[in-house]
Amino acid sequence: MASETSASPLLEVVDLYTHFDTPRGVAHAVDGVSFRLERGRTLGIVGESGSGKSVLSRTIIDILAKDGSVLNQGEVRFEGRDLMALPEKDMRDIRGREIAMVFQDPMSSLNPVKKIGKQITEVLVKRLGMPGAEAKRRAVELIESVGIPDAAQQLDRFPMHLSGGMRQRVAIAIALAGEPKLLIADEPTTALDVTIQAQILDLLRRQQAERNMAVILITHDLGIVAQYTDDVAVMYAGQIVESCSTEELIRRPRMPYTEALMNSAPNLADPPHTRLDAIPGLPPNLLRVPRGCRFAERCPYAAEKCSAEMPALTDDDDPSHIYACWYPLEVKEAVSA
Amino acid sequence: MNALNALLSIEDMTVEYTNQGQRFAAISDITIDIAEGETLGLVGESGCGKSTTGRAIIQLPAPTMGKVTFEGRDLSELNHEEMRQVRRRLQIIFQDPVSSLNPRRKVKDIVAEPLVIAGMKDAAERERRVREVLEAVGVDPDTAMDRRPHQFSGGQCQRICVARALIMEPKLIVCDEPVSALDVSVQAQILNLLEDMKERYGLTLLFISHDLAVVKNISDRVAVMYLGKFCELADSARIYEAPAHPYTAGLMATIPDLSTIGADAGPALIGEIPSPLNPPSGCRFRTRCPHAQERCAAEEPEFRQIESGHHVACHFPLTEQGS
Amino acid sequence: MAYLRLKTLHLIPVFFLVTFASFMMLDLLPGDTVDAILSDADTGEIGSMEAREALRKELNLDKPLIVRYALWLGNMVQGDLGRSYVTTQPVTEALVQRIPVSLELMIMSQILAIAMAIPIGIYSGYHGGSTVDRGISAFAFGVLSIPVFVAGTVYIWIFAIELGWLPSSGHTDFSEDPWGNIKGFILPALTLATIEFPILMRVLRVDVISTLQEDYIALAKSKGMTTWYILFHHALRPSSFTFVTLLGLQIGQLITGTVVIETLFSIPGVGKLLIDSVDTRDEIMVQGVITFIAIVYVVVNLLVDLLYAVLDPRVARRA
Ligand SMILES: Nc1ncnc2c1ncn2[C@@H]1O[C@H](COP(=O)(O)OP(=O)(O)OP(=O)(O)O)[C@@H](O)[C@H]1O
Ligand SMILES: Nc1ncnc2c1ncn2[C@@H]1O[C@H](COP(=O)(O)OP(=O)(O)O)[C@@H](O)[C@H]1O
Ligand code: SF4
Ligand code: SF4
Ligand SMILES: [Mg+2]
Ligand SMILES: [Mg+2]
């Protein structure tokens, strides 16, 4: 086991599918996703809303409903073990201890009727088997470590007594309680102000460095990806369409969707009233995904082949930079030149 | 300021609310003119009073103190009927497009509603106008008119909201975070749409957002708000080139953008916005200001002009520190 | 707790309305109290004119309704509900004897109803839409349509007559024979619980289903908590608002049920006292019982409000 662990990456997702059986048809929320994440690294997953980011993260930690409406396939290998094949009891041991999660909206992700202290200590007591008094002491330390003042007094307060930023700090303290090797943060700052966003992301980065955790940082903001991640995967309509190191993505995007995402956000450096390159139209309906490239309908470079045949993930000479496009950006430029 | 061709002027406007039995000012002594045809951006953190300002302008509710003059008329002096007439030319668009549309009504009825309220009886004429605005905002009238809001995406719902605001041919639209609930790609569509509509209908906009990059893109001038007061006001380009207030500078430093790969952006603003129930003495920003000095706690800085068109409320503006 | 004070103020008029309305209704009832008291059951004689007048005066029955109500109210505030016209026992004494009996019945039935409703409601909610859930729902609707005396009779037939496990009627004092006392209450309490739990279960099920969609449930799952722990420690409390409201609202139904059940099982509780007193036109006793019931109603509703604040700290703050 030990040798296997050291050889394999911390997390390796292989050809993962999560479909939802809904009354109106089958929704292809996650459709053949593969990626790997090494220990201590930060992977950004970026995409528009509805592209499958949350479903992907909930599939990895296996907290989607188990009522038969969720159809799963593929492998989620964590330290070499396939989590998808794990019985629920063993999977519970992974959650909180090995993989923890922070959700988008701290207003709704903390239980409104439970005291902050209890929400932290229950991980320590139930999962680490700590005695109550020790768990309390540890909870105070955790609250301090996420930068909340008067830590001891906070234990007896309810989430409603805290601001959004403070609640997200509590949520991070909860996630850190089990000393996980992997933290999945699903848009942890989307519901917060920019100033608080910076504080929370800095906190995450500091904790990660101290604990040598791996982090999956899910966001729809490429600016956050640029500043806080090592590697990045761009998701579109349930699939990863481009993946490489963050620097490479910002410098040399190959997939037209990535470029479009970058151009559609207003840039502080541009003068006022600069016309934005909006992406026309909407992402495809996941109940009826197109046969070819899923971006074809909105892609300025689309050609006939694009809607006929789905491009597979490929690389040029650098296998760490993969993309799914028939006419990747530079190649296209060469053609039109 | 430029009172000559001001479409809207606000003088010493204060709005008070009661919270847990305590009365407090959500905004205090706001003074500003909005010139005809301009877009004024209003930025600040959550709870600083942006929406309160927007709503007080359209008198929903009317400000506790101060004067709002629109097209030369003091709104507080208008009677109910006169206010109704004025309100047609003063429209508002909200942040959450989906919940601001009645889910049970058809799009054509939602968009036509202001006309009905205004007493337009001719159904054929109403339909013609509805088609015209829907086309203008990029929604196909033939497929959309008979559908209900839930059958549309957030971006399309926001287009319908814009159409509803436009149908009365308003002079001024207060846009309260109209793109905050939208994805970047759709956000760009709506921002472009607002620019187009402004051109086409000669609109004046008050554009509220917490996103500086968005505000800079769409506005001619930008007002930065902190804890119920303006702390800086300047031309859009100017405020980004040379922010004078430490808060503005802090806000700008926290925006993650593509150019800062892996690097630490400037120092994040420490702490959180204090409660408006008991704002700090002196300068309201001093509890978070990296440049705060003794004088800042003792004396409230005046909102003064430091250069033509550039106003700031700070004892030690960054532009005067020669750094 | 300014919130609770406000609630109490709301309930005071309710109390007056109920007691006054019952006064009026008793007055409108056909027949005459004096006749009922003086007439000899065997001979049908109704006593002399003088005796009748004297009694009428003594009972204040010659005064107008509103005056009698005021007099009664004055005494009631001092804890005096009058004496029975029939047995001359003080009303308070009769109540004090019977309240523990009825209270035991009601509390036992509520405990049983809650004990059935919570696990079944949570299970149904957790497996919302499954075959088991639909089966439970169908069963609950079936039970809901059974009148209380039918349910009681069926239980008597099964457990008392066929199986002979439990007594079909009567009451033993707790001090004499604790187990006998409890045995006597099992069937009546079960009957009351049977008719009450389906609705409780249904509302809990609906609220559990919506609570389980919340992000904080996903967070609890991602902490590695067991399903059982999540359901009972994270989902139950936020899901029990309607449940608790309903418990309060159903108090009326519970009281009616208790009256029927005490009669059916011959249990000497307040309900039986009420029926007996109505039979003998013992107006003052009936009035006393109704007053007591009104007080119970008011107190239970206060408790429910108090419970809201306990269940969700946000309620106390909002108020
Ligand atoms: N109806 C009200 N009653 C009491 N307080 C209110 C009311 N409306 C707003 N407030 C308070 O007034 C202050 C300003 O609120 P406002 O909604 O204007 O902020 P905002 O800048 O629009 O924030 P956001 O970015 O969150 O929309 C806040 O402290 C808020 O809690
Ligand atoms: N429980 C569910 N049942 C059916 N469809 C779902 C469910 N959860 C998510 N989806 C769908 O899956 C797609 C991806 O959703 P999500 O992962 O939440 O997107 P995001 O990238 O914004 O996090 C969306 O189309 C969403 O509607
Ligand atoms: S495959 Fe074609 S449609 Fe898809 S992104 Fe590439 S160029 Fe555009
Ligand atoms: S007045 Fe003082 S505290 Fe306020 S912004 Fe200026 S330097 Fe900072
Ligand atoms: Mg999501
Ligand atoms: Mg607002």
Atom of ligand 3 nearest to the CA of A301: 7
What CATH number does the domain containing C192 carry? 1.10.3720.10
Q: Which helix (H) or strand (E) holds C129?
A: none
**For position B2, what pLDDT does the model report?**
45
**For position B51, what pLDDT does the model report?**
93
Task: Among A276, A286, A298, pick the best mutation site for testing chain B contact (most B Cβ within 10 A).
Answer: A276
Mean pLDDT of B134-140: 89
Which tens digits make up the pLDDT trace of C83-101? Answer: 787 777 888 888 888 888 8
| Residue C243 maps to a domain | yes
**For position A5, what pLDDT does the model report?**
46
User: Please, what is the angle between helix C251-264 and helix C283-311, to 10°?
Assistant: 130
Cβ of B51 less than 6 Å from ligand 1:
yes
Which tens digits make up the pLDDT trace of A6-17? Answer: 568 999 999 999
Cβ of B26 less than 6 Å from ligand 1:
yes
For C216, which of A61, A110, A126 is closest by C-beta distance? A110
Centre of ligand 6 to C-alpha A166, Å, is 20
**For position A2, what pLDDT does the model report?**
43
Cβ of A236 less than 6 Å from ligand 3:
no
Q: What are phi and psi of A196, to 5 degrees?
A: -70, -35
Q: Decide: helix, strand or coil at residue B223.
A: strand
User: What is the C-alpha separation between A223 and A228, in angstroms, rounded?
Assistant: 9
Centre of ligand 1 to C-alpha B21, Å, is 16
Centre of ligand 5 to C-alpha B181, Å, is 13
Chain B partners of A163 at a C-beta cutoff of 8 Å? 272
Higher model confidence: residue A316 or residue B39?
Answer: B39
- Under-70 pLDDT residues of chain A: 1-7, 331-337
DSSP code at position B302: P
| Rg value, chain B, Cα | 21
Token pair for C61: 């029955």
3-state SS record for chain A: CHHHHHHCCCEEEEEEEEEEEECCEEEEEEEEEEEEECCCCEEEEECCCCCCHHHHHHHHCCCCCCCCCEEEEEEEEECCEEHHHCCHHHHHHHECCCEEEECCCHHHHCCCCCCHHHHHHHHHHHHHCCCHHHHHHHHHHHHHHCCCCCHHHHCCCCHHHCCHHHHHHHHHHHHHHCCCCEEEEECCCCCCCHHHHHHHHHHHHHHHHHHCCEEEEEECCHHHHHHHCCEEEEEECCEEEEEEEHHHHHHCCCCHHHHHHHHHCCCCCCCCCCCCCCCCCCCCCCCCCCCCCCCHHHCCCCCHHHHHCCCCCECCCCCCCEECCCCCHHHHHHHHC
Q: Which residues contact B138 (CB under 8 A, 6 or more apart)?
A: B159, B189, B193
Atom of ligand 4 nearest to the CA of B293: 2
Structural domain including C225 reads: 102-318
Which tens digits make up the pLDDT trace of A120-152? Answer: 999 999 999 999 999 999 999 999 999 898 899
Cβ of A44 less than 6 Å from ligand 3:
no
Cβ of B315 less than 6 Å from ligand 4:
yes
**For position B265, what pLDDT does the model report?**
54
- Under-70 pLDDT residues of chain C: 1-4, 29-33, 36-47, 316-319
Mean pLDDT of B64-75: 93
| Residue C80 maps to a domain | no
Structural domains of chain A ordered from first start: 2-98+180-268+278-336 (3.40.50.300), 99-179 (no CATH)
C-alpha closest to that of B105 among B138, B59, B149: B149
| Residue C216 maps to a domain | yes
User: What is the C-alpha separation between A130 and C67, in angstroms, rounded?
Assistant: 70
Atom of ligand 3 nearest to the CA of A328: 6
Atom of ligand 3 nearest to the CA of A241: 5
Question: Taking chain B, what is the end-to-end CA distance rounded to the nearest angstrom?
Answer: 29
Cβ of A326 less than 6 Å from ligand 3:
yes
| Residue C27 maps to a domain | no
C-alpha closest to that of C31 among C283, C259, C288, C291: C283
**For position B264, what pLDDT does the model report?**
60
| Residue C41 maps to a domain | no
**For position C31, what pLDDT does the model report?**
64
Banded pLDDT at B263 (limits 50, 70, 90): low
Q: What are phi and psi of C25, to 5 degrees?
A: -65, -40
Domain count of the fold of chain C? 1
ipTM entry: 0.86
For A202, which of B212, B219, B268 is closest by C-beta distance? B268
Cβ–Cβ < 8 Å for A30, A55: yes
Which tens digits make up the pLDDT trace of B155-164? Answer: 889 999 999 9
B6-219 has which fold?
Answer: Rossmann fold (3.40.50)
Contact A279 B185 (CB under 8 A): yes
**For position A1, what pLDDT does the model report?**
41
User: What is the C-alpha separation between C188 and C267, in angstroms, rounded?
Assistant: 9
Contact B195 A268 (CB under 8 A): no
Task: Among A51, A187, A193, A222, pick the best mutation site for testing chain B contact (most B Cβ within 10 A).
Answer: A193
Domain boundary assignment for chain B: 6-219, 245-323
Which one of the ligands is nearest to A194 CA? 1
| Residue C11 maps to a domain | no
